[in-house]
Structure 1
Amino acid sequence: MISKSTIDKVFDTARVEEVIGDYVQLKKSGSNFKGLSPFTEERTPSFMVSPVKQIWKDFSSGKGGNVVAFLMEHEHFTYPEAIKHLAKRYNIEIEETEQSSEEKEKASERESMYLVNEFAKTFFKNQMMNTDEGKSVGLSYFKNRGFNMETIEKFDLGYSPDLWQGFTDKALAKGYKLEFLEKTGLTIVKNDGEKKFDRFKGRVMFPIHSMSGRTLGFGGRILTNDKKQAKYLNSPESEIYHKSKVLYGLFQAKKSIAKEDNCFLVEGYTDVIQFNQSGIENVVASSGTALTPDQIRLINRLTNNITVLFDGDAAGLRASIRGIDLILEQGMNVKVCVFPDGEDPDSFAKTNSLEDLQNYLAEHAQDFIRFKASLLLDDAKKDPIKKSEVVRDIVNSIAKIPDQITKEIYVQMCADLMDVSEEVLFSTLAQITAKSQKTSSKQTAKKEMKVVKETASAEPKVDHQYELERSIIRLLLKYGDKEAVFMDYELEFDEFHREKLVPVKSEDVVYEKIFKDLQIDEIELSNQIFKELYELIISKYTEMGVLKMETFINQISPELAQEVTSIMMEYEVNQLHDWKRQEIFVIDKSELDPREVVETILNLRRFLIRKKVQELSESVREQTDDLHIEIIQETMDYNSLEVLISDKLNRVV
């Protein structure tokens, strides 16, 4: 329902490197950018973005495509949603027609849940800003916390009225289905719908956003002293909200995190909001849950540095140590900053200037070893047994670091701090590492044995036809409009009627050469994706004479676009590995080699001939004597043709 002119304008304006840069920390790599995959867990970058071609490729998951494909994969947008998101980002006015009731009915369950959450966010904001109860209760609470109107708007804060069905009745009246009100957790339903009431009744509301700004769920804080109710209440797990994979404030913080190359990690919503209002925006919260690997990986896409901020509660500090070990396991650099007794990030930011806050963070942020030592040695004091336990605990943390050089530096630091010899610490580290590797090896061996058993009866085979057809598409995509001189060989007879191959030069455009040669033998590509791409590409070249990749990839289906991206980014994968430093030099096929075109076509012809001969050989047994002779003759003819093609290939090479 979005007009074609709007879609074209979006594609013309949107820059794939800018959009993906909001989600992944991209670093320059030649003419491209590389970063960690947002789709898989990895420590070595395998995600490539090409600004020139306006495409991306994730070599760890196989995904790829244009800017819209990225948003559809990462944010689970539909195609229209991705276009609308980009239009909003680049301030492009959307021309569209109203959806019919039937089209609304077809909307996915996930999209229906997003729409319900978006309505709820607007409802809660409106209740707080435009009702007497909202102003006196909700808005007053936020103002008492020191939040100004700009901050309240930035984080979409709101208020849920103190009514059993205030929100639910309004949503139902607006046409939202009870099914999705229940699935998002906004409404609690009992007795098959006979009873229904608002989950967040009488609470101030904190919307929880995805990295792109979609509303995933809510956190609600009660304002009374009712001990029977939880102080904070979150949306339940749902199809769109998984609290272990979400960080509060990441949508507002992502650009600042990438810019500052550091992320401050706090515990609560108000910590994030108060820091933002103070002028420090690169801050996120785990929302009161224990830190998870998925949350750490979200940060790792934007920076390799985390500073964990704690209040002065010693019990809380000890409970949070495991989170630091998880950060180390991801290969990230972690520092810790503890606020004075009685202070937390919220209160400290509220009562100090930006300069004082920045100075405190800079002066008191310490590496995790000094933090652990200062925290745990207080208990150990002069007890040698307890001290040895502290040392082992610290070495356990060091063992989780993937980088060997970093490990060694931290061992040296630990030796100085704890007054223990480096030899003893390295020996302990080796024991811990060996034990961990042994456990890991056993698990890996079990997995590998399972795979071996499952695949024992089927050896992997190279699909030559697939590879050759893919090469045809690659040649058309990369060099289709290039002119070249092709050396081919034709069969002639000398005066004694003996066969001989005579070299023949021809100047042609690549796409015309491929099209004519395949047409001569009436060859059709067997792979359906390649067949569709072949027809589309030849059609574009015939019509325009050129193939503009950034336009072409935006006009084809996501499935075809993914294949095109994979083909176009083949060479770029080599930039992910520093081959030159290892004195391994990879050929960049940026220049057309006419021999490759000829070889590919000849190899495909030879493969199809061999396939035909095999089919004829298998059919011989089933035929009558007369047909038997005909098939043998046909087989001999094909064999002769294969010999001829092989001779041509030897000459081309």
Structure 2
Amino acid sequence: MISKSTIDQVYEMARVEEVIGDFVNLKKSGSNFKGLSPFTDERTPSFMVSPVKQIWKDFSSGKGGNVVAFLMEHEHFTYPEAIKYLAKKYQIEVEETEQSDEQKEQANERESLYLVSEYAKEYYEGVLWNTEPGKAVGLSYFKERGFTEETIRLFGLGYGLDEWDAFTEQALEKGYQLDYLEKTGLTIVKDDPRNPGQKRKFDRFKGRVLFTIHSLSGRVLGFGGRILGNDKKAAKYLNSPESEIYHKSKVLYGIYFAKQAIAREDNCYLVEGYTDVIQMYQRGIRNVVASSGTALTPEQIRIISRLTKNITVLFDGDAAGLRASLRGVDLILEQGMNVRICTFPAGEDPDSFAKNNAYEDVVLYLEENSKDFIQFKTSLLAKEAANDPIKKADTIRDIVGSIAKVPDRIKREIYVQQCAAMMNISEEVLFNTLAQIGRKDFQEASKRRNQETKAFEVVRDTPAEARVDVQYELERKIIEILLLYGKEMEEFEDLVLKENEEGELVLEPERVEARVYEKIYLDLQEDEIELTHDHFKTIYYRLMEALNEKEDFQIAEFLHELDQQLVNDVSSILMEEEKYNLHNWERKDIYPKEKARTIAQLVSETILTLRCFLIKKRIHSLQQDTEEKTEDNSEVLEEIVHYLQLNKLLNNKLNRVLS
């Protein structure tokens, strides 16, 4: 277990805006930061980060919390994993208390897969640098590719010995379980035909140079292995298989090293292979990733979209089937991204071009030769069509098909104008074709929706009208006030119920000075009011304890003492008002009144409203009693009258407070 002193130090050092900034492109918005949600596919930012409160809130998914909660949600870390990640980022030494054998056995499977993968990386690096075959074969290959020792170490490149089970035997000797070696794909286990009931174990990456595949946060997910021999039966490249921690369609090679540069440059270069990424990075082009040898997927595009809206796809100069490759780029357009294309001279690819040219020359080439995707595609296909009318018609339909993928209407119109000029065809024809594609897509979508609707018609219930839970909202407001202003000293107006000379009940005000949390506690105690919602009740008592015991109450410190569910609840309460900042009211000449200016009034109003609500609830309960009873109801009716008088007095008071 991680010691409390380490956890406290991590919370003290970690900055939520810095940590989340590694995963999401954040932009300043007043005293906060905002960006696109990393949890949903959205085009308008609804993700808010508060450096002052050290919390975040994603209004599109409802998730929120502190820095640890973000890592647990986004990276699927356990709590200890998140603490260790932050400790590593802020160079804090992790102190751990001794774990029992039982605790070690209880470590979850996911963490075990990560540990095995991390060990494999260290093992293969060790083979590369410390063994004769590693240096002679693996290291020589990487150096021939032009990679420096610093780059080789940075990217975690390695080598697997050309032996059947060298890695597997070493891992088992170190205490790693065969089950996890098999689940990560590092070891292949098969039945031994010569010994029935026995298993044979093989290293998947035997005799290959290895490229480590990292997650966005830098965890080892898997490996890509390239064979160096001339074995025609073996695949040239071999990747780790799908596992609980490695999903090829959701991973981009190099993203861990590129994420900050992508956000800073507001552009991402997309290449095909591992060596393209490494060579470009080494040359100084840091905002570059690869799709790990697979066709680009929506999940991969969404990873990039959190960091930038601009992608530049780099193609080899003599790339076979360039037209087929371009079809995959339509997917990027569908995600609302801006796409540019850059091809290299014949015989060159990103790897060779970066290796053979200076940084300034590479940057200049990319700037001068990157073309807008639609413009590039139109130019390319127009050459292919030449003077063939049939080919030209097919080409125009292909281009309009790509334009139809663009969600932005203004961009679509501009692309139509460009295409019309380049293909020498009227805009009207192109717009009509675009409309036909749109209608067809709409009809297909409607048909799918109707089929889905029919499938569920039998069990569908009429949705109940949403009702506001008044008590829930008032209890939530009490928690918010305590969090924001609990320690503030304010002058309050206490209300004392008395009879005047005419024998009528009246509320007489008395001025009293107290801290906000003391006032709320005493008012609720006096009326014997207890919060009814479990989470609020827990937070309320934890808050009262912290506010009473700690002279310098800090929200961030309070949060890290709560479990993650309560952290999410508190963050939602604190960040609720930030939702309205997303609309930038000031630009519309609307200036909401700050709550801090009228704290005493806010407290009084909230407590009075809760009292009125509970009185009305009590009146309703008493009225039901009178309906059910057949005997004398005079006492109950008298009590109802008393409550009605009190309710009227409190409402009059509320009107004065609100005026």
The two structures share one fold, judged by TM-score above 0.5 = yes
Determine which of 346, 350, 354 is the counterpart of 2:355. 350
d(CA) in 1 for partners of 2:591, 2:412: 32
Name the SS of the counterpart of 2:422 in structure 1.
helix
Aligned residues of 2:55 and 2:65 also touching (Cα < 8 A): yes
| TM-superposed deviation, 1:445 | 6.3
Aligned residues of 1:15 and 1:54 also touching (Cα < 8 A): yes
d(CA) in 2 for partners of 1:524, 1:625: 33
Determine which of 537, 544, 550 is the counterpart of 2:543. 537
Partner of 1:106: 106
d(CA) in 1 for partners of 2:309, 2:56: 22
Structure 2 unaligned regions, length at least 5: 192-196
d(CA) in 2 for partners of 1:487, 1:445: 60
The amino acid across from 1:281 in the alignment is: R
With 571-580 and 303-312 compared, the bigger mean Cα shift is at: 571-580
The amino acid across from 1:66 in the alignment is: N
d(CA) in 1 for partners of 2:502, 2:292: 90
| TM-superposed deviation, 1:603 | 2.0
| TM-superposed deviation, 1:438 | 4.1
d(CA) in 1 for partners of 2:343, 2:271: 11
Q: For residues 154-193 of structure 1, what are the structure 2 equivalents within 5 Å?
A: 154-191=154-191
Name the SS of the counterpart of 2:49 in structure 1.
strand
Q: Using a 3 Å threshold, how does the CA distance of structure 1 residues 81 and 451 change in structure 2: closer, same or farther?
A: farther
d(CA) in 1 for partners of 2:78, 2:567: 16
Partner of 1:394: 399
Q: For residues 244-323 of structure 1, what are the structure 2 equivalents within 5 Å?
A: 244-323=249-328
Name the SS of the counterpart of 2:321 in structure 1.
helix
Partner of 2:491: 485
| TM-superposed deviation, 1:636 | 5.0
d(CA) in 1 for partners of 2:352, 2:274: 13
Partner of 1:569: 575
Name the SS of the counterpart of 2:498 in structure 1.
strand
Name the SS of the counterpart of 1:652 in structure 2.
helix
Q: Using a 3 Å threshold, how does the CA distance of structure 1 residues 617 and 485 change in structure 2: closer, same or farther?
A: same
Q: What is the CA deviation profile of residues 274-318 of structure 1, one whole-angstrom value per residue up to 9, with x for unaligned ones?
A: 111222111100011000111011111111111100113454322
Q: For residues 17-416 of structure 1, what are the structure 2 equivalents within 5 Å?
A: 17-191=17-191, 194-416=199-421
Q: What is the CA deviation profile of residues 11-58 of structure 1, one whole-angstrom value per residue up to 9, with x for unaligned ones?
A: 222111111111111111111111111111111111111111111111
d(CA) in 2 for partners of 1:647, 1:222: 84
Partner of 1:645: 650
Q: For residues 590-609 of structure 1, what are the structure 2 equivalents within 5 Å?
A: 590-609=596-615
Q: Does 1:470 align with 2:476?
A: yes
With 12-21 and 405-414 compared, the bigger mean Cα shift is at: 405-414
Q: What is the CA deviation profile of residues 428-478 of structure 1, one whole-angstrom value per residue up to 9, with x for unaligned ones?
A: 333333433444455556667859963415333222211111011011111
Aligned length: 652
d(CA) in 2 for partners of 1:404, 1:509: 56
Q: What is the CA deviation profile of residues 467-498 of structure 1, one whole-angstrom value per residue up to 9, with x for unaligned ones?
A: 11101101111122223333454333222212
Aligned residues of 2:506 and 2:649 also touching (Cα < 8 A): no
d(CA) in 2 for partners of 1:451, 1:150: 62
Q: What is the CA deviation profile of residues 571-608 of structure 1, one whole-angstrom value per residue up to 9, with x for unaligned ones?
A: 21122224455566555435334332222112222322
Q: Does 1:456 align with 2:462?
A: yes
Name the SS of the counterpart of 1:458 in structure 2.
coil
Partner of 2:553: 547
The amino acid across from 2:656 in the alignment is: R
d(CA) in 2 for partners of 1:174, 1:362: 51
The amino acid across from 1:295 in the alignment is: Q
d(CA) in 1 for partners of 2:450, 2:639: 52
TM-score by length of 1: 0.94
Aligned residues of 1:488 and 1:648 also touching (Cα < 8 A): no
Q: Using a 3 Å threshold, how does the CA distance of structure 1 residues 615 and 186 change in structure 2: closer, same or farther?
A: farther
Name the SS of the counterpart of 1:288 in structure 2.
coil
| TM-superposed deviation, 1:159 | 1.0
Aligned residues of 1:485 and 1:505 also touching (Cα < 8 A): yes
Partner of 2:527: 521
Q: Using a 3 Å threshold, how does the CA distance of structure 1 residues 598 and 233 change in structure 2: closer, same or farther?
A: same
Name the SS of the counterpart of 1:592 in structure 2.
helix
d(CA) in 2 for partners of 1:506, 1:265: 66
The amino acid across from 2:419 in the alignment is: C
Aligned residues of 2:379 and 2:422 also touching (Cα < 8 A): no
d(CA) in 2 for partners of 1:546, 1:520: 27
With 307-316 and 610-619 compared, the bigger mean Cα shift is at: 610-619
Q: What is the CA deviation profile of residues 203-229 of structure 1, one whole-angstrom value per residue up to 9, with x for unaligned ones?
A: 111110001110011111112222222
Q: Using a 3 Å threshold, how does the CA distance of structure 1 residues 355 and 535 change in structure 2: closer, same or farther?
A: same
The amino acid across from 1:462 in the alignment is: V
Q: What is the CA deviation profile of residues 585-638 of structure 1, one whole-angstrom value per residue up to 9, with x for unaligned ones?
A: 555435334332222112222322333444455556777847x76655555544
Partner of 1:557: 563
Q: Using a 3 Å threshold, how does the CA distance of structure 1 residues 453 and 648 change in structure 2: closer, same or farther?
A: farther
Aligned residues of 2:156 and 2:211 also touching (Cα < 8 A): yes
Partner of 2:194: none
The amino acid across from 2:158 in the alignment is: G
Aligned residues of 2:37 and 2:58 also touching (Cα < 8 A): yes
d(CA) in 2 for partners of 1:511, 1:643: 27
Aligned residues of 1:540 and 1:546 also touching (Cα < 8 A): no
RMSD over aligned Cα atoms: 2.4
With 120-129 and 323-332 compared, the bigger mean Cα shift is at: 323-332
Q: Using a 3 Å threshold, how does the CA distance of structure 1 residues 592 and 109 change in structure 2: closer, same or farther?
A: farther
d(CA) in 2 for partners of 1:283, 1:2: 36
Q: Using a 3 Å threshold, how does the CA distance of structure 1 residues 267 and 119 change in structure 2: closer, same or farther?
A: same
Q: Does 1:424 align with 2:429?
A: yes
The amino acid across from 2:239 in the alignment is: N
Q: What is the CA deviation profile of residues 342-389 of structure 1, one whole-angstrom value per residue up to 9, with x for unaligned ones?
A: 222112222222222222212211111221123222331112232122
Aligned residues of 1:574 and 1:586 also touching (Cα < 8 A): no
Q: Percent identity?
A: 62
With 401-410 and 511-520 compared, the bigger mean Cα shift is at: 401-410
Aligned residues of 2:35 and 2:48 also touching (Cα < 8 A): yes
The amino acid across from 1:182 in the alignment is: E
Q: Using a 3 Å threshold, how does the CA distance of structure 1 residues 649 and 274 change in structure 2: closer, same or farther?
A: same
The amino acid across from 1:321 in the alignment is: L
| TM-superposed deviation, 1:642 | 3.4
Name the SS of the counterpart of 1:531 in structure 2.
helix
d(CA) in 2 for partners of 1:474, 1:53: 13
| TM-superposed deviation, 1:3 | 2.4
Aligned residues of 1:257 and 1:302 also touching (Cα < 8 A): yes
Q: Using a 3 Å threshold, how does the CA distance of structure 1 residues 451 and 646 change in structure 2: closer, same or farther?
A: farther
Name the SS of the counterpart of 2:598 in structure 1.
coil
